[in-house]
Structure 1
C-alpha cells in the first residue's frame, strides 16, 4: 500500500513545484508559448473549482476536500489492498485533491498554468491532470470490473 501513497506524494510534489515555478517566473495572466499554437504557460488564479465554478467558496472546498480525502484513504486501506488498479486510480485522485487543497489553504486560490492553445479549454495544473486521469482510470476500472463479473456469471451459468 505504501507505493500508492508514494505515488500521491509524487503527484503533490510535482504539482507544488510547477506552481512554485509559475509564481516565481510568470506574471499573472502573462502567456509564455512553449509549443506555438499547441501549448503555453499562463499564470491564472482560480478561486473556484473546475472551469472556475463556485468561485470564492473556500469553506465549501475545505469541507468537500476533507471528506473526499477521508473517503479515498478509507477505500485505499480497504479495497485498494486487494486491487492494484483501483489503488492506483485512488492515488492519483488523492494526490490531485491534496495538491489543489494546499493552494486553497495557503493562497486562497488555486494556481493554474497549463494552457492548450489548439482547443478552447480552461487553464489547468498538474493536480487537475492527476484528478482527471484518476477519475478516468476509475471509470475504466469500474467498467472492466463489471464486465469481468458479468463474464464470470455467464461462465457459471453454463
Structure 2
C-alpha cells in the first residue's frame, strides 16, 4: 500500500524572506542617501557658511550647520549630541532592517521605512564626517518667518513618516 506524504498547508508553512526581496528597498534608501550627499556636497563647495541665495519669494538656498537634531534640538549641547544622535540613528536603522525583513511583502510600509532609513543614514554620514548636519533648504513666509532649514535626508525622513502613518491608517481601516 502506497502512503501519501503529508504536506503542510500553505498557511502552516513558515515564510522565509530572501534577502533579494529587500533589494528594492535598499535601492530606494541608497537613492535618498546619494541625492542627499550630492546636494550637500554641492552646497558645501558652492556656498560660504550662512550665505543665502534667494530662489523665489518664499524659498532660499542657504548653507547652515545643525549640530543637533530636528529644529536644532540640543544644537548647543557641547558636542556629546553628535554621538548620541548617531547612536540613535544606528539603532533605528537596525530596527528598520528587522521590520523590513519581517514585513517584506508590505510595499507601502517598506517604502516608508526605506525613505526613513535613507534619510537617517544620510544625516549620520554628515555627523561622522563633519560633526554636524548640512542644511540648505530654507522656506519662509514674509511677515511670519523662516521654517528651520533642512535637507534631502530630512525630506526622506518626513515623507517616510507620513507614508508610515498612512499605511497604518489603511491597515486599521481594513480591520
Please confirm whether the aligned pair reaches a TM-score higher than 0.5, indicating the same fold: yes
In the TM superposition, what is the alpha-carbon distance from 1:39 to its structure 2 partner? 1.2
**Residue 38 (structure 1) aligned with residue 58 (structure 2):** yes
Aligned to 1:92: 115
**Residue 70 (structure 1) aligned with residue 91 (structure 2):** no
Structure number with larger C-alpha Rg: 2
Aligned to 2:9: none
Q: Give 5+ residue unaligned stretches, structure 2.
A: 1-21
In the TM superposition, what is the alpha-carbon distance from 1:120 to its structure 2 partner? 2.8
1:82 aligns with one of 79, 102, 105: 105
Hey, what's the Cα distance between the residues in 1 that align with 2:146 and 2:67? 20
2:138–2:146 contact (8 Å) kept in structure 1: no
**Residue 117 (structure 1) aligned with residue 140 (structure 2):** yes
Pairs aligned (count):
147
Hey, what's the Cα distance between the residues in 2 that align with 1:78 and 1:49? 29
- Tell me how large the CA RMSD over aligned residues is: 0.9
Shifted more, 118-127 versus 20-29: the winner is 118-127
TM-score normalised by L of structure 2: 0.82
**Residue 61 (structure 1) aligned with residue 81 (structure 2):** no
Correspondence 1:129-144 to 2 at 5 A: 129-144=155-170
In the TM superposition, what is the alpha-carbon distance from 1:59 to its structure 2 partner? 1.6
In the TM superposition, what is the alpha-carbon distance from 1:11 to its structure 2 partner? 0.3
- Quick check: which one's helix share is greater? 1
In the TM superposition, what is the alpha-carbon distance from 1:113 to its structure 2 partner? 0.2
Hey, what's the Cα distance between the residues in 2 that align with 1:46 and 1:129? 15
Aligned to 1:29: 50
